[in-house]
């Protein structure tokens, strides 16, 4: 299909209303999905909830291989398949739903800068912890990542992924970092986010944007995921306004939505509650 034809098809799809059977795909929740993918999936779920767009979470062992970009989550809306938060935000905007239209150009640039900070620091730290910290790799990452597959495929796939992530870490200068240095990076990121949030309910004005969805996805997952130690979650807990921010979004966009739509609550609600 030519680029012109592809753009035309995309335009037609964007003009169609949001369907009731839209689906978000991720790995198996209980036994397979890892911290970073769980955080990314929750960020997209939060974004769609904030847009008041229904989506059914579908867990598949091979979700990573089903994704057009090789990354989760991805959504299927009609005949369209879109992966990762950034492209999903643009796809949803083409359908007439945007959380950041009320921001001016300076605010939009600032929002994008903070989103880059989260992706460059928190997401990278999650990947480092999963694939470069030996204790986490042996006790959590390898067993979970390969859990749907028989031996030796489970080990082969886990080692392939580990090699891929470690190569990325080397390319961006993180391979030589110690765990303490990574945790310090997380602390600096949380400090910047805490200062920007201040006493506000959301990062910009009184309504959430895609930045709020992204930050919630990562911080909530860090706070509620059991790892080999509490060092990562303790960095977030040091900032009470960030913990309160996560609790606020959880209650408003997940618990309250679940009450309104109890039939699909189990598939959407993030598991585990925040510390009081």
Supply the DSSP string of 114-150, one letter for each residue. Answer: HHHHIIIIIIHHHHHHHHH-HHHIIIIIHHHHTTTS-
List the one residue out of 93, 170, 100 whose CA is nearest residue 128.
170
The structure tokens 């979970």 sit at 144
* Tens digits of residue pLDDT in 158-172: 999 999 999 999 999
Q: What is the pLDDT of residue 259?
A: 55
How much is the pLDDT for 205?
76
Tokens of 199: 């006493």
Could you read off the pLDDT of 161-218 as tens digits, one per residue?
Answer: 999 999 999 999 999 999 999 999 999 999 999 999 999 999 997 899 999 999 999 9
In the prediction, which pLDDT does 262 show? 40
CA distance 260 to 256: 7
Prediction pTM value: 0.90
Tokens of 105: 């150009």
As a whole number, the mean pLDDT across the chain is 90
Per-residue pLDDT, 257: 61
pLDDT tens digit sequence for 33-68: 999 999 999 999 999 999 999 999 999 999 999 999
């Amino acid at each position: 299909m030519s680029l012109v034809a592809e753009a035309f098809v995309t335009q037609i799809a964007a003009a169609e209303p949001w369907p009731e059977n839209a689906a978000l795909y991720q790995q198996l929740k209980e036994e397979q999905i890892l911290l970073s993918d769980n955080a990314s999936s929750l960020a997209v779920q939060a974004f769609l909830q904030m847009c008041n767009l229904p989506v059914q979470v579908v867990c598949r062992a091979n979700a990573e291989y089903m994704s057009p970009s090789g990354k989760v989550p991805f959504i299927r809306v009609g005949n369209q398949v879109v992966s990762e938060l950034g492209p999903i935000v643009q796809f949803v905007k083409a359908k007439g739903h945007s959380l950041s239209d009320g921001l001016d150009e300076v605010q939009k640039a600032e929002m994008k800068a903070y989103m880059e900070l989260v992706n460059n620091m928190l997401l990278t730290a999650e990947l480092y912890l999963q694939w470069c910290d030996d204790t986490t790799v042996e006790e959590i990452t390898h067993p979970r990542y390969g859990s749907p597959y028989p031996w030796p495929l489970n080990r082969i796939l886990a080692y392939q992924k580990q090699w891929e992530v470690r190569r990325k870490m080397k390319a961006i200068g993180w391979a030589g970092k110690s765990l303490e240095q990574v945790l310090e990076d997380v602390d600096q990121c949380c400090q910047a986010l805490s200062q920007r949030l201040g006493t506000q309910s959301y990062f910009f004005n009184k309504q959430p944007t895609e930045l709020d969805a992204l930050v919630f996805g990562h911080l909530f997952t860090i706070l509620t995921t059991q790892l080999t130690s509490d060092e990562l979650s303790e960095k977030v807990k040091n900032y009470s306004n960030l913990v309160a921010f996560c609790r606020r979004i959880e209650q408003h966009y997940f618990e309250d939505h679940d009450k309104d739509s109890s039939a699909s609550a189990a598939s959407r609600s993030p598991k585990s509650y925040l510390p009081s």
